[in-house]
Amino acid sequence: MYFSCIVTCYNREKEIARSIQSILDQTFQNFEILLIDDCSTDHSVKIVESFNSSKIRIIHHEFNKGQNAALNTGVNNASYDFLAFLDSDDTWLPNYLQEMQQTYLKHPDAAFAYCSLVNGPIWTLEGADKYPDILNQGFLSSMISITARKSVVKGINGFDLRYKICQDDDFCFRLAKNHSFKVIKKQLAHVHGATNSMTKNQTEVAKGWDFLFDDYKKDILVFCGARTYARHMLNVSMQYFNCNEMIAGFKCYVKGVYFFLRPSNNLFPFTVKEFFVINKKLFSIFLRKIKRIFIK
């Protein structure tokens, strides 16, 4: 068993060495590293070249295409049947690939596997027919903690270019819709977060979640019920309010209230008590923001 480790990079000269070294330090050494350089203008590529490792293959984009296009380039150029994904500012623990390899050997029916993040919660969701649970939860895992069979990734047409935020959630949703998966209940991947990471922009993060749940609205209503969609919309409205995006937040809030009250076969509980708890938080944030506007 071999892994193709796909690392996408755009101007990460301060972090890229740490990420590449964490792959080279793996206890399981059957892998290649595909560095997809998305037209960096700094010294990122030179730093990777300085490793002088036969395991590293660098592929250059002629112009900046974005992370999802870079991921697809990696998928299309991967030599091996199992894919692993690492952001150029993050790292794996040394036994990451070893744990993944053992999981696939024990569970040959698994289309993909994932682990928990360092300093994060221990995730437990796994199995077949878990698509409704993932939609209800609203996420599964971070991209750097996921490995998958190349045939399965190609079967879902790789990464959706419409997404700039929440592409890992969209990827997990599509993988889990028709496939079985396994979880490794260990913290094996470490998110560090670069200064130029898009997730530092909380307004873009809110827009990303808004787009994700709108994109999966039909499936959420069918597989989970209206109240799951309502809960997601209320949480997105909270994100918008925290970013001072009051109009966008209010629109999501109205959607949330409407779908909470709408008659539906709600397969996952979202009680009136929980609804009012979220509303209390929302109105607290909303009033605080409004007060600041008038004080100015």
pLDDT tens digits, residue range 64-73?
Answer: 999 999 999 9
Of 106-115, 145-154, 209-218, 237-246, least confident by mean pLDDT is 237-246
Which pTM value belongs to this model?
A: 0.90
Predicted confidence at residue 288, as pLDDT, reads 75
Predicted confidence at residue 209, as pLDDT, reads 97
Bigger pLDDT: 278 vs 56: 56
Q: pLDDT confidence of 91, banded at 50, 70, 90? A: very high
Predicted confidence at residue 228, as pLDDT, reads 96
Best-predicted range by mean pLDDT among 74-83, 257-266, 282-291?
74-83
DSSP the chain: --EEEEEEESS-TTTHHHHHHHHHT-S---EEEEEEE---SSSHHHHHHTT--TTEEEEE-SS---HHHHHHHHHHH--SSEEEEEETT-EE-TTHHHHHHHHHHH-TT-SEEEEEETTS------BSS-HHHHHHHT----GGGEEEEHHHHHHTTS--TT-SSSHHHHHHHHHHHS--EEEEEEEEEE----TT-GGG-HHHHHHHHHHHHHHTHHHHHHHT-HHHHHHHHHHHHHHHHHTT-HHHHHHHHHHHHHHHHS-----S---HHHHHHHHHHHHHHHHHHHHHHHH-
The predicted model gives 183-206 an average pLDDT of 82
Please determine, for residue 287, whether its predicted confidence score (pLDDT) is greater than 80.
no
The predicted model gives 230-247 an average pLDDT of 93
Predicted confidence at residue 198, as pLDDT, reads 53
pLDDT tens digits, residue range 156-173?
Answer: 999 999 999 999 999 999
The predicted model gives 234-253 an average pLDDT of 93
Predicted confidence at residue 107, as pLDDT, reads 97
Predicted confidence at residue 200, as pLDDT, reads 65
Please determine, for residue 219, whether its predicted confidence score (pLDDT) is greater than 70.
yes
Predicted confidence at residue 197, as pLDDT, reads 54
* Residues above pLDDT 90, as percent of the chain: 83
Distance CA 110, CA 93 (A): 22
Predicted confidence at residue 281, as pLDDT, reads 83
Q: pLDDT confidence of 194, banded at 50, 70, 90? A: low
Q: pLDDT confidence of 182, banded at 50, 70, 90? A: very high
Mean pLDDT, the chain, whole residue set: 93
Please determine, for residue 125, whether its predicted confidence score (pLDDT) is greater than 60.
yes
Distance CA 185, CA 194 (A): 26
pLDDT tens digits, residue range 106-122?
Answer: 999 999 999 999 998 89
Please determine, for residue 294, whether its predicted confidence score (pLDDT) is greater than 90.
no
Predicted confidence at residue 24, as pLDDT, reads 98
